[in-house]
Amino acid sequence: MDSQDFTIKNLGECKFRSPLNISGQKGPGLKGYISDEQRVLTSMQGRSGDTIDRQSSFEVAGPREKIFFKPAYTKAAIVTCGGLCPGINCVIRSLVAQLYAQYGIKNIVGFRFGYQGFNPIYNHDIVQLEPSNVQSIHREAGTFLGSSRGAESPSVIVDRLEAEGISMLFAIGGDGTLRAAHKIALEIEKRNLEIVIMGIPKTIDNDIKFVYRTFGFDSAVEEVRRVLDVASAEAKGAPNGIGLVKVMGRDAGFIAAHAAIASRDVDFVLIPEFPFDLAGEMGLMMQLEKTLQKKGHCIIIVSEGAGQDIMGGPKNETDKSGNVRYNDIGVFLRDKINDHCKSRNIEINLKYIEPSYTIRSILPNANDAIFCDHLSRYAVHAAMAGKTDMVVGLWHNVFTHVPISAATSGKKRIIGNSTLFFSMLETSGQPHPMKNTDGQLSTGDKKVEVNGLTPADAA
């Protein structure tokens, strides 16, 4: 954390009075304007009276009394990148509504199919966005603008932004999208242009650093819980029934952990942060046998990034976003469990369920829909004030401004001394560590705060 700088970049002095005409008491969560001097500590371990500086606190999000852009001369753009996630269309709709109705920006466009939309070689059309054509898109899953993966030249993207006269770009996406957005912001800075790059963090895995929650995560957990209910019904309906569910979570097991706690039927939660053995007294297979003997059935949820070490490590290849391709832990466990039980003359009824794509493509629940609206409005407030190269986050239940460089400096992960982790263990009843270490702690037991710092009850 000491090396992090949470200072937010600004295009310049804010000279224009906000058209919002807000009156009221100032402060987070209140109606009034927010000052740049209002801060949120990065750690709750700070003491009363401590000096709050930019190296230990975030700017509070919210409308500013003075803004950088003159709305009548401002053109905004929106792009969605990466995989699908519940709530993308809610974000697009809310961005348009806030820009159009609240700030009076009538020229809003959407670039189609991610960053590809900026590159002339793809010949993707630009969509004019206004309340009339986004009015109902929040009731549709997926993304109204389309999406894609893969890198595009920051220089080409900035050329297009200049050519189209764009004043601000809202980039909706995950870690790869935000890293690209940061490079675009640096290219803009290099050219001394007055263009805002505003990130809205989108990852169903909820692993963006210094952002307590990302949109779509709550909906994903709710849907996974329904899947676990199905797996539980299948497992309980047959002798020695086993329900094995693989969910999203390349580097962090937030979906699996939260869904297991919500379900309360799960016996084993296997996540990337904590290695496990297959064989041996503490290994998964022996623990599975004990559970079947005790209960007559078993439910296992596994994150897609778990157990890569027992499969020989990730594949030596990457996808278009630059992510290392992982081996399929779900199919691997399915086959290993079947082989093990067959070798031990244990008759089982195993049902393997992988709901990943169906979960990505659902509509957001009410909680996520509201959250999307908040994120969008705060992103517009920040952009109008000329703030750039940043994302809107949530920290200590306050919406904040986070530099993209900080948000992409690592992955937020579940740590071994968090309340979330112990809640997961208590709910499942699984032993920890599931490693044959002769009494030595596994790597997962070390109190290493992988995500730098966490809110009080966070990961």
* CA separation for the pair 19, 298 (Å, rounded): 59
* CA separation for the pair 263, 283 (Å, rounded): 24
3-state secondary structure of 132: helix
> For 271-346, where are the E strands, in sequence order?
297-303
Cβ proximity of 211 and 395 under 8 Å: yes
**Is 50 an active-site residue?**
no
Supply 423's token pair: 């809640």
Residue entry with tokens 């000052």? 35
Q: Where are the alpha helices (DSSP H) in 195-253?
A: 217-236
Supply 105's token pair: 């920006």
The single residue of 36, 50, 175, 205 carrying the catalytic annotation is 205
Nearest to 203 by CA among 412, 406, 45, 384: 412
Distances (CA, A) of 352 to 119, 155, 300, 301: 42, 46, 10, 10
Supply 104's token pair: 């009076």
Kind and range of the H or E run holding 400: strand 398-403
* CA separation for the pair 112, 64 (Å, rounded): 31
**Residues identified as active-site:** 205
